[in-house]
A = this chain, B = another copy of it.
Amino acid sequence: MDKVSYIDHAEKWKKEFVFSSPTTIRFSETDMFGHMNNVSPFIYFEEARINFLKEVGLFTNIHHVTGVPVVADLQCDFHQQLYFDQTIQTYVKAVHVGSTSFDLHYMVVNEKKEIVLTGRGRMVYVDQHTGKPQALSEEMKQKLAAYTA
């Protein structure tokens, strides 16, 4: 955790998460090395990200709004091996909420509450039709902030 560029103070960083989403690691998400495949965290991040955005109200009525949050980048640090059938909890929080974008941070813990994966990724709020960045409303910004302790 010490070497992870997007984590300043590990204890503070951990405590800020309030939203989480559970997943159980599937057999098809393992590989011949016997543990969770390196692609799988991004499946869990996406699942938790969408659950978070739905909770915040940024994924609702997606066909009736012009704006949609788009992934600009993604990263994951592997702190501990994960295995088939483990139940993990993926925490998500928004940081650096700007006028048209925000970062999401991810923290995945195992059954013992040990941090097994961490990650982050920038989301840009874009107009579905033009593909250009669109302003986040004050209400959206407040909602994003409300899910960070």
| A11-19, A75-83, A90-98, A134-142 - the one binding chain B | A75-83
Given contacts A31-B28, A39-B39, contact A78 B84 (CB under 8 A): no
A38 at the interface (CB under 8 A from B): yes
Given contacts A26-B47, A46-B27, contact A72 B78 (CB under 8 A): yes
Contacts of A84 in B (CB 8 A): 32
Contact A75 B78 (CB under 8 A): no
Contacts of A83 in B (CB 8 A): 32
In the complex, what distance in Å separates the CA atom of A72 from the CA atom of B73?
Answer: 18
- Shortest A123–chain B CB gap in Å is 11
**Other-chain residue from B31, B38, B74 in contact with A31 (beta carbon distance below 8 A):** B31
CB 8 Å contact bits of A16-53 with B (1 = contact, 0 = none)? 00000000001110111111011100110011001000
In the complex, what distance in Å separates the CA atom of A32 from the CA atom of B83?
Answer: 9
A71 at the interface (CB under 8 A from B): yes
Contacts of A77 in B (CB 8 A): 72-73
- Shortest A16–chain B CB gap in Å is 21
**Other-chain residue from B26, B34, B37, B72 in contact with A28 (beta carbon distance below 8 A):** B37
- Shortest A125–chain B CB gap in Å is 15
Residues of A that sit less than 8 Å from B by CB:
4-5, 26-28, 30-35, 37-39, 42-43, 46-47, 50, 71-78, 83-84
